[in-house]
Structure 1
Amino acid sequence: MKRFYILTVFICYFFTGVKAQGIPTGGPAIVGRISGTVIDSATKKPVEYASVSIYRSGGKAPITGVVTDDKGNFKLDNVKAGSYKIGFTFIGYPTKFVDPVTTTPAKPDFNMGTVYLTASAKLLNEVEVTAERSTIENRIDKIVFNAEKDVTSAGGNVSDILRKVPLVSVDMDGNVSVRGDQNIRVLINGKPSGAMAASVADALRAIPADQVKSVEVITSPSAKYDAEGSAGIINIITKQKNMSGVSGTISGGIGTRQNNGNANFNYNKNRLSLSINAGGNFTWPQTSITDLFQTLSPVSGTTTVNDNHSENTIKRYSTSNSATLNYDINNYNNISSTFRFNQGGFDLDGWSDNEQKRGIEPTVAYRGLTTSKTTFGGFDWSADYTRKFKKEGHEVIFSGQWSHSKINNDFLYRYSAINPNQSGLNKGINNEYTAQADYTLPVSKLLKFEAGGKGIFRRLSSDYNIYTDKLGGGIDANPADFTLDPLNSNDYEYNQSVYAGYGVLTFTLSDKYSILTGARYEHTAINGKPLGTPVPGLDPFSADYNTFIPSLTVQRKLSATSTLKLSYSKRIQRPSLQFLNPYINRSNVFAQTQGNPELQPEISQTVDLNFNTFIKSSVINFSVYYKHTGNLIEGFANPITEVFEGDTINGTRSIYQNIGENNSWGSSFFGSVSPFKPLTIRANINAYTYSPRISQNLFDDAVNTGTYVMVNAFLNAQYDLGKNFVAEAFVMYNTARRNIQGTNPAFSMYVLGVKKQFMNKRASLGFNTVQPFKEHLSFNQTVSSKTLQQTSKTRVPFRSFGITFSYSFGNVKFSNPQQKKKGINNDDLKQDEGGGGGMGGGGTRGGSR
C-alpha cells in the first residue's frame, strides 16, 4: 500500500505540474486544425491522395501539406490563428485555391466541409493511382508486418499473426522465437505488459488478432532500448483509429477450434482523443495425445524403463481490454494515459496409463488422473508527458508505469498402484514499477542527439502450497484427506532493480551515408529469500553487476531503391525468479525442476549485414549475421531416484545452468513479388546454426556438441479475385530446434482463407481453414545423455474451419496519425522455454497447451 500511495502522489503531482506549466513564455498561442473532404464535382466520389497545401493568405510558397485518405478526407494540424490560403492539386484537375481561410484563438479549428474539384477539359484517357501500404515493410531499424492486410489471421489470435512475420517462428506450444532465439521481449504499443510476466505464450493467445494493427521486429536495437532480450524486440501495435469524430469496429470469428470477438470505439475531438478496445476468445475443448518412452540409467543404480500413454483435454478462455486517453494541451505539451486489463485461464483434465520396469523387478502398471485449473490476470497503467520545443524534433518525454499481474494454478494428481498423490494451491504475484525520461535534440540537419535515464523496480512473490496423500487413497483418494507438505511447499520473495542511462548520436553524413551510434550503462541489483518455515537448501541470495552496452549502425544508400546496412549490438539476458529459485519443484514428481541462484546473465553480441531493394512492385531483403552468446542458460536433466510417500520414484530433475557459449552464423531472406497484378507472393526463409561450446563439467552428458543447421520458413500467396473478393494461402515450416540434450519438435502447417468486403468496405465476411485434410499434427521430441534416453510423440488437433466478420461504423473526418510516443519500453528478462517470464509462482503443469 505504501508503494501504491507513493506512486499515486507522484502521478497527481506530475499532472498538476503539467497543468500549471501551461503555454511557455514566448511560445505560440493555442493551435488548431483545418480539415475537410475533397469530392469530384461530377461523380460525387472522393478524390483519393489529392495534395492539400497551406499558404499564408495571398502567399506563393506553401508552408506544409498533407494528402487525402481513401474517403477524400484531410486534416492540417498545428495551425496558428491567422488567415491562410488552401490549395488542392491532383492529376487531371486544375489546382483549386480557397483564400482566405481564417482561424482565431477563440475558434482555432476550421472545417471547410466539402471541397469540390472539377476535372480538366483535357483529361487523360485513364489515370490510376495506387498508394497502398505493403503487408511487410523494411525500415532502417525494424521490419513491420501490417496485420490489418492479412486475410487468414482474421478470427485467430496474435500467435496466428506472428507465424507470418519475417524472422519470427512460433512452435506448437505458442513459444515465440526470433532467428531461433526465444530470449525476446514482447511489447504492446512500445510498452511492457504484466500479462507477459507469467507466460508469453498464454498472453499472446489471449489477444484477438482483430485488435492488432501491425507487428514490429527489432533485431538490432540501439542503445536507447533496454539491453534485455538477446534475440531483440517484438512490438505489437494495436488498432487506434486516427479519425476526428466517433468511429469504431466490431469483429470476430466463430470456428470449430476457437472463437473470438472484439469491439473498438474511438472518439477524437479537437485535441482530445479516447480509444477503448475490448475483446475475448475461447477455444472448444481440445484433446492431445502423448506417447513417451524413457530409459533412466543412473551411474550408480538400477536401470528403469518408463512407458507412458496420456490424453489431456484443455479449454482456454481470455479477455483483453484497454483504454487510452490523449490530450494535446497545445503545440508544445501533451499528456496521455493508458490502462490495459487482461484476464484468462485454462482448464485441463487428463489421464495416463503407465508401465514402469525397474531392473529385474516385475513391471508396475498404474493409471494417473490429472485435473488442473490455471487463471491469470492483471493490469498495466501508464502515463506519459511530452514537452516539445520550438525546434522541430526537440522534445523531452517523462513516463511512468505500474504493471501488476498474478497467476494461480490449482492441480490434483492421483495414481493407482503407487502413491505420489498430491494437490497444489500455487500463487504468484508480480509488481513492476518504471520511471523513465527521454530527451531528443536535433543539433543540425546532420546530427541528432538522444539521451535518457530509467529505473525498473520489480517486486515478486511466489507461494507454492503442496498437499500430499498420507492415507494412500490411490486413484480414488479424497483431496480433503491431503495434508500440507512443508518440505515441498515454498514461499519465496524476489526483488530486482535496474538503473540505466544512455546516449545516442545519429549522423547524416551525406545523402548516401548515415550512422547511428550509442552507448548504454546498466546496473542490476537482485536478491531473493525464502519466507515462512526454513527449508534445507533454500538460502537467501543476492547479486549485483554492471553492464556496458555499445551499439553501432552504418547505412549506405546504394541507389534510390537500394540500401546496405551494417549493425552491431550487445544484449544481456538476466535470469528471472524461475531460473534462480533453488526450490525443487516436485509438483510433477516424475519430471522435477530446480532453479540455480548462481546463474550468470547471458551476454550476446551480434553483427548483422543487411541488403534491401525495391524493384518495381517487388521487395527483396537479405541479411547475414553472426551472434556470440556467453553464459548460455539451458535446463539440464538427469535421472533421480527418491522415496516419496513410501514409494520409490524414478524420474528426472532439470536444473538451469550456464552450460557454456554458443557461436551462431545465420542468413535470412524475405521477398515479395507480384508476377501479375492480382497476385502477390511473399516468402521468408531463415537459416542459422547452433554450435555450443560446453563447459567441461557438463560435456560428458551433452549430445549436441557439433554444429547444426536449423531453418524456419513460410510462403504466402494473396490473389485479388475482383469485386472485393480476396483469397489467401499460407504454409510454414520450422525444423526441429536443438539444445545440448536433444531436440524440440519440428512444426509445419498450412492455412487457406477468402474474404469478401461490402458496404463500401465497411463490412467484411470471411472463411478460414487450417489443415483441412488432416485432423492432428504430430510433434516429436528427444532428450539424451549417457544416463537418460527419452522420446515423446504428441498429436495435437489443428484442423479447423471458421467464419470471420467485421463491421466499421462512424461518421469521421481523417486525421494524420499522431507522433508515436516513446513512453515505457522494458525489453526485459529471459523467458523460459515454456514461454513464461518465470516472474511469478504457481506456473503451469507440463503438457498443458
Structure 2
Amino acid sequence: MKHFLLLLLTLGLWSGFTEVQIIQAQFGPPGGGPGGPPGMGGQDNRRKKEFTGVADDTPKGNGKLTGLLVDSTSGKPVEFATVALINVATNKPIDGTTSDAKGQFVMNKLAPGDYRLQYSFIGYKSRESQKITVTKGTDMNLGAIKLPADVRTLGEVVVTGQAALIEEKVDRLVFNADKDITAKGGDASDVLKRVPMLSVDLDGNVSLRGSQNIRVLINNKPSTIVAANVADALKQLPADMIKSVEVITSPSAKYDAEGAAGIINIVTKKNTLHGLTLNVDAGAGLRASNLGLNGSYRQGKLGLTLGGFGRAMYNRASSTLDQTTVVGGQSLRTNQTGTAFDKPIFGQYTLGIDYDLAKDQSLSANIRYGTRNFIQQQNQLTNTYANESLLSMTNRDVDRKDLSNSVDMNLDYIRTFKPQQEWSISTQYSRTGLTNNFYADLLGQTGELTGRQRNLNNNTNQEVTFQTDYQTPIRKNQLLEFGGKAIMRQVDSRYQYQIGGSTGELAFDPTNPSGSLKYNQNIGAGYISYSYVTPSKYTFKIGTRYEHTGISAKANENTPLNIPSYSNLVPSVNVSKSLKGGTTLKAAYNRRIQRPGLQQLNPNVNAANPQMIMVGNPNLSPELTDNAELSVSSTIKKTYLNASVFGRLTNNAISQIRIPSDTLAGSIITTYQNIGVQRTVGANVFFNTSITSKWTVNGGLDGYYVYMQGLTPGADGKSITISNSGVSIGGRLMSQLQLDNGWSAQLFSFFRGPMPQLQGTMGSFYMYSVGVRKDVANKRGSVGLAAENFIGGGVTMRTNLNSPLLSQVNVTHLYNQNVKVTFTYRIGKMSFDAPRRKGRSVSNDDVKGDGDGGGQQPAAPAPAAAPGGGRPK
C-alpha cells in the first residue's frame, strides 16, 4: 500500500495534481469529521472505487475512529492529509478519509476487526499506527498524532515540508510573512508591501485594489491608534512578530460592516512553547534600528507572554511646490522649496495571559501599550507672485511633533460544547491620546527672526466594546452563526493657535481662534449567517447584518452639531464551486459602510505649511459601497494561479476637496466632504511557482479603472460638478532561494503607476530590496543583511492637481536608501504543545482612516511643507 500511495502521488505531481486533489480523488472532499467545514465529510464511493479499487460493498458496522493530525515541530494542524484504513489480515486499504482544515479526521461505520491507520501528506514522513481492534459500538479518539517533516525524492519530483508563501482559504488570501527575510528588522508596512492586492505608498498608506477604504485588524482586534492613523499604527508593529497577513475582500455578516474594499487582518506569532523562553530581535541600518525582547512561560493550564519592541528611524527628504490659485479674479502663483529631516521613534509593549478553566472552557486577557514619537524638522522657503511681480517672500523653520500613546485591553471567554458548536463573550477597552503640534520660527530675508507661531492640538479617542457570538452545526452540511455587538466611542479634540514677535510670550491668535470637538458615537449591531454545502460541492454562505449608529456632537463646548442617527442593513453573499483538477470558482456580493475617521472629523486648522492647510469636517456622514467579485484559482503542476475581477459603486463618498484660501494669498485649504460618486472596475492576477524545491518565485499585477464625480467651487463662487477618470496599474515580484548550510536569499520589487484623483493625478513610485540570511546555533538564531532602494538617489514622486480655481505640481524626493543588519536568537526550553484555542476577540471594523480612499482622492503625498514621508495632520 505504501508503494502504491507513493506511486500515485508521483504520477499526480507529474500530471499537475496537488496532493489535495489526489486525496479528493481517492476519498472525496476534505473533512469527514467534527470541526470540519460543513458538508465536507461524505465519501465519494464512485471515485474511491475508481482510484483505490475499494468496492462499494465494503463491510460496514457502527465503529468509529477520530483523531487530530499535527505538525511535530510547530504543533499546527495538518490540513487535508490522507488517512488510510488498512486491514491487518490482508494488509490492504479498505477505507480512507482526509483531515479537515483543523487537522481533524473521522471514520464512521467501521465493521469489527483489526486495523492499522496510515497517515501521509506531502512534505511529511508517512506514519502507521499500532494495531487497532474495532468491536461493535467502538468510539475511539486517538488524540493528537504528530507527523514529522520530510524531504524526499520521488523519481524526479522533490517534495519538501516548506509551507506555501501564499495560501487561499475559503474566504480570504493568506500571506505567510514569517518566510519573508528582507522585511526583518522592519515594521508591518514593510510586510504589507509584499502582500498580493495590497499597495503601500511612501507615507505608509495602505490600499486594497486601489482603495484606502479598508479596515486593519491585529489578531482580529481593533485599536484606537489604528482608527486614528493606520500608517503610523503599522510602524508600531514589528515585522519580526508577524506570522501572516489575511486579505478578506468579501467579509461575511459576522464582521463589522466597515471597510468598503475589505479587511486586512495581521496575525502575530502565537507562542505554543511549553516552558520558559526568550526571543531577541535586533537590527541596525542607515535609516532605522530596532530592538525587541519577547518572553513566554507556559505550564499546565496557564500561559504568560511578555514583550517589548522599539524602533528608531531617521530619513531626509526634499520637495518643490509650484501652484497657481485664483481668488477674487486675481491669479496668484506660489513657488516653494522644502527640506525635512524625520526622527520618529515607535514602541510597543504587550502582556498576555490565557488559562484553561476546563477542558471545554478558556479565558484569555491581553494588554497592549503603544507609543509614537514623530518629530520632524522642516525648512520652507516660499515666494508668492501676483501678475509675475513678487508679492511676498517667507522663510519658516518648523518643528512638527506628532505624539501618541495607546492602550488596548481585551478579556475573552469561549465555551465549546462540541466541534463547531461554541459560544464566546469578548470585551475590549481602548484609549489613544494624540498630540499634533507644530512650532514655527518666521525668518526675514537675511535670516533674522521676525516672528513665531504655534499650534496646539490634543485629542483622545476612547472605545468600549461588548460582543457575543454563537455558532452551531445543522446536520453535517450546514452551519448557523449569529451574534450581537455594542460599541461606545468618544472623541475629544481641543486646539488653539498662538503667535508672537521675535521675543516675549506667545499670545492667542485672534485670526485662528481656539476650539474643541466632542463627538460621541454609539453603535448597536446584530448579525446572522448561514452556510450550506451541496453534494455537488457548491458552498453558499449568506448573511445579513443590521447596524444602528447614534451620534451626538458639540463644537466649542456648547454648540450642538446636528448629525442625524442612521441605520443600515448590510447583506453579504459568498458562493464557491470546487471543480475537477483542483480549480475553485468564487462569486461574492456585499455592502459595506465607511465611517469618517478622527483626522477627517477634526476641525483643527493645521497650517504647519501655510500654503497647504488641512482641516477636518465634523459633519461628515458615512459612505455606502456595493461590491461584487468573481475569482478563479487553480494549481497547474508546481504553479498556483489566482485571478479575479471586481467592481465597486460608492455614493455619498468622502472626498478630499482643495480650494484656495480667501485669507492667505496663494494658499490652498484641503478638507473633506460627502460629495463624491465613484465607480471602479478592476482585475488582479497572482502566481506562485516552485522552480525547484528550494527556489520559489511569486508575483502579480493589479489594475483598475475608476470614474469619479464631485463638486468644487467655480470661478463665480458657485459649486460646479467636476469629474475625472483613469487607469492605474501596479505589480510586484519576489523570489526566494533556500541554500545549503542554513543560507537563504530573497529579492523583492514593487511598483505602482499614477493614480487618478478627483482633482488630478497622484504620481507613481517604486521600491525594491534584496537580502540574505544565515541560520546559526542549530536554527536558534539568524544573522541577516538586506538593502533597499540602493541604486540611485532615492524615489521621486510627482503629483498634479487641477480645478477651475487652482493648479498644483508637487514633486517629493525621498532619500530612502537603506542597508540593515539583523540578528535574532531564541533561548529557553522548547517543547511544543498543540495550539490552544483562544476566545474570540473583539473586532471593530468600522472607522475610515485619514487617507482619502476609494481611489477617487487618495491621501496626498508629502507636500513641500511636509516632506520626509509624513502626511500633513
Please state which band the TM-score falls in when normalised by the shorter chain.
Answer: 0.7 to 0.9
Partner of 1:759: 777
Aligned residue for 2:232, secondary structure, equals: helix
Of 237-246 and 219-228, deviating more is 237-246
- Please name the residue that 1:69 is paired with: 72
1:354 to 382, 386, 393: 382
**What is the deviation of 1:697?**
7.5
Counterpart of 2:368 in structure 1 is: 340
Extract structure 1 runs of 4+ deviating beyond 6 A.
Answer: 71-78, 85-94, 123-128, 696-704
Q: Which residue of 2 aligns with 1:38?
A: none
Picking from 836, 842, 853, the partner of 1:818 is 836
Q: What is the Cα deviation at residue 786 of structure 1?
A: 1.4
Could you state the TM-score of these two structures normalised by the residue count of structure 1? Answer: 0.82
Q: Say whether 1:620 aligns with 2:641.
A: yes
Q: 1:77 to 1:618 in 2, by over 3 A?
A: closer
Structure 1 window deviating more from structure 2 (690-699 vs 674-683): it is: 690-699
1:427 maps to which of 446, 451, 458: 458
Paired residue for 1:266? 296
Deviation of residue 356 (structure 1)? 1.1
Distance 1:396 1:332, change over 3 A: same
Change (3 A) 1:388 1:161: same
Pick one of 289, 300, 322 that aligns with 1:293: 322
2:425 is aligned with 1:411: no
Q: What is the TM-score with the length of structure 2 in the denominator?
A: 0.80
The secondary structure found in structure 1 opposite 2:679 is strand
C-alpha separation between the residues in 2 aligned to 1:115 and 1:302?
Answer: 77
Q: Return the letter of the residue paired with 1:291.
A: T
SS in 1 for 2:610: coil
Which residue of 2 is the match for residue 506 of structure 1?
A: 531
Shift of 1:711: 1.4
Give the C-alpha shift of residue 511 in structure 1: 5.2
Aligned position for 2:822: 804
Determine if the alignment matches structure 1 residue 567 to structure 2 residue 588. yes
Q: Distance between the aligned counterparts of 1:530 and 1:266, measured in 2?
A: 47
- The answer to whether residue 308 in structure 2 is matched with residue 278 in structure 1 is yes
C-alpha separation in 1, matches of 2:216 and 2:707: 26
Q: Are residues 578 and 99 of structure 1, via their aligned partners in 2, closer, same or farther at CA, if it must alter by over 3 Å?
A: same
Q: Letter of the 2:360 partner, please give it.
A: Y
State which of 482, 487, 490 in structure 2 corresponds to 1:459. Answer: 490
- Within the candidate set 670, 675, 697, 1:681 is matched to 697
* Map 1:349-498 → 2, pairs under 5 A: 349-359=377-387, 361-389=389-417, 391-417=418-444, 421-469=452-500, 473=501, 477-478=502-503, 480-483=505-508, 485=510, 487-498=512-523
Q: 1:130 to 1:92 in 2, by over 3 A?
A: closer
Match of 1:521 in 2: 546
User: Post-superposition shift, 1:334?
Assistant: 1.0
1:530, CA displacement in angstroms?
Answer: 1.8
Which residue in 2 is equivalent to 1:176?
206
1:264-317, Cα deviation, whole Å (9 max, x unpaired): 222222222222221110013x2210111111123x232111111111111111
- The Cα of 1:488 is off from its aligned counterpart by 2.5
Judge conservation of contact 1:207–1:280 (CA < 8 Å) in 2.
no
Residues in 1 aligned to 2:603 and 2:239: alpha-carbon distance in whole angstroms? 38
Q: What one-letter code is carried by the residue in structure 1 that aligns with 2:185?
A: G
Call closer, same or farther: CA 1:745–1:422 in 2, change over 3 Å.
same
CA distance in 2, matches of 1:563, 1:88: 28
Summarize deviations over 1:542-581 as a string: whole Å, max 9, x none: 3201101000011100125211000111101112344345
For 1:55, the equivalent position in structure 2 comes to none
Query: Hey, what's the Cα distance between the residues in 2 that align with 1:605 and 1:598?
Result: 23
**How far off its partner does 1:331 sit?**
2.0
- Structure 1 match to 2:283: 253
Tell me the residue number matched to 1:192. 222
8 A Cα contact 1:92 1:124, kept in partner: no
Q: Percent identity?
A: 31
Mark the runs of 5 or more structure 1 residues left unpaired by the alignment.
1-58, 79-84, 101-109, 643-647, 836-842
Q: Map Cα deviations across residues 692-740 of structure 1 (whole Å, 9 max, x no partner).
A: 2335978998897343111121000112222221111101001122211
Deviation at 1:772, TM superposition (A): 1.4
Q: CA deviation at 1:221?
A: 0.4
The whole-number CA distance in structure 2 between the counterparts of 1:364 and 1:588 is 15
Q: Decide whether the 8 Å contact of 1:423 with 1:479 is kept in 2.
A: no
Q: Which residue does the alignment assign to 1:304?
A: 332
Question: Is the Cα–Cα contact under 8 Å of residues 518 and 552 in structure 1 kept in the other structure?
Answer: yes
Shift in alpha-carbon separation, 1:378–1:295, aligned structure 2, 3 A = same
- Cα deviation 1:769-798 (Å, max 9, x = unaligned): 001122321111122111101111111111
The equivalent of 1:656 in structure 2 is: 672
The aligned residue for residue 14 of structure 1 is none
Contact kept, 8 Å, 2:75 with 2:834, in 1: the verdict is no
Shift of 1:591: 2.4
* 1:832 is aligned to 2:850: yes
Contact persistence 1:377–1:407 (CA under 8 A): yes
Q: How far apart in 2 are the matches of 1:696 and 1:561?
A: 51
Work out whether residues 704 and 742 of structure 1, in 8 Å CA contact, stay in contact via their aligned partners in 2.
Answer: no
Quote the offset at 1:667 in angstroms. 0.3
2:707 maps to which residue? 691
Corresponding residue number in structure 2 for 1:782 = 800
Q: Name the CA distance, whole Å, in 1 between partners of 2:546 and 2:505.
A: 54
In 2, the alpha carbon distance for the partners of 1:718 and 1:460 equals: 45
Question: SS where residue 227 of structure 2 aligns?
Answer: helix
Distance in 1 (alpha carbons) for counterparts of 2:147 and 2:754: 60
Q: 1:548 to 1:479 in 2, by over 3 A?
A: farther
Query: How large is the RMSD of aligned CA atoms in angstroms?
Result: 3.4
State the Cα distance separating 1:415 from its structure 2 match.
2.1
2:346 matches 1:328: no
Maintained 8 Å contact 2:498/2:506: no
Distance 1:74 1:179 in 2: 32
Distance 2:583 2:344 in 1: 46
Q: State the AA in 2 paired with 1:506.
A: S
Per-residue CA deviations over 1:14-66 (Å, capped at 9, x if unaligned) read xxxxxxxxxxxxxxxxxxxxxxxxxxxxxxxxxxxxxxxxxxxxx99643132
Count of residue pairs the alignment pairs up = 748
